[in-house]
Amino acid sequence: MLKYYCRNCFEIFSESMSELGKENWCIMEMVIRHYNQLTMCIEIVSNMSDCFYPNRVVEQQFVKIHQQYFSLCSNEEDLLDAPAGVVLVATLLPILLIPFIVYIVVWKSSLRD
């Protein structure tokens, strides 16, 4: 029964995505509103059907949606390597701070004696 009622949510999402155009399916800023509407619709339908949300049926439907619309999307451009200088500073700064902190602790403890 849940599958039947969720079909309306998926049809609305499919219409929105086709209006959006295939070239925009991987642009999160353009897709997120439609995706959120789909999520809310399915959550409402699940609650009206006295089903827990999320559940196995809903998860299977979302997997189908992701396979259909987002399987070709890649995040490679979002995962560029940090510049070498940033990596070097982020690595060396904690290493250089450790001896300084140890020195301060030893110095403070010697003042108390």
89 and 39 in a single domain? The answer is no
How far is 32 from 27, CA to CA, in rounded Å?
9
What is the tally of structural domains in the chain?
Answer: 2
Which pLDDT band, with edges at 50, 70 and 90, does 72 fall under? Answer: confident
67 and 106 in a single domain? The answer is no
23 and 52 in a single domain? The answer is yes
Domain that holds residue 11: 2-74
**pLDDT at residue 2, rounded to an integer:** 84
What pLDDT, in 10s, does the model give residues 25-71? 999 899 999 999 999 999 999 999 888 888 898 999 899 999 999 98
55 and 34 in a single domain? The answer is yes
67 and 110 in a single domain? The answer is no
67 and 19 in a single domain? The answer is yes
25 and 67 in a single domain? The answer is yes
Predicted TM-score of the model (pTM): 0.62
68 and 88 in a single domain? The answer is no
For 36-58, give one letter per residue: b (16+ CB within 10 A) or e.
Answer: eebbebbeebbeebebeeeeebb
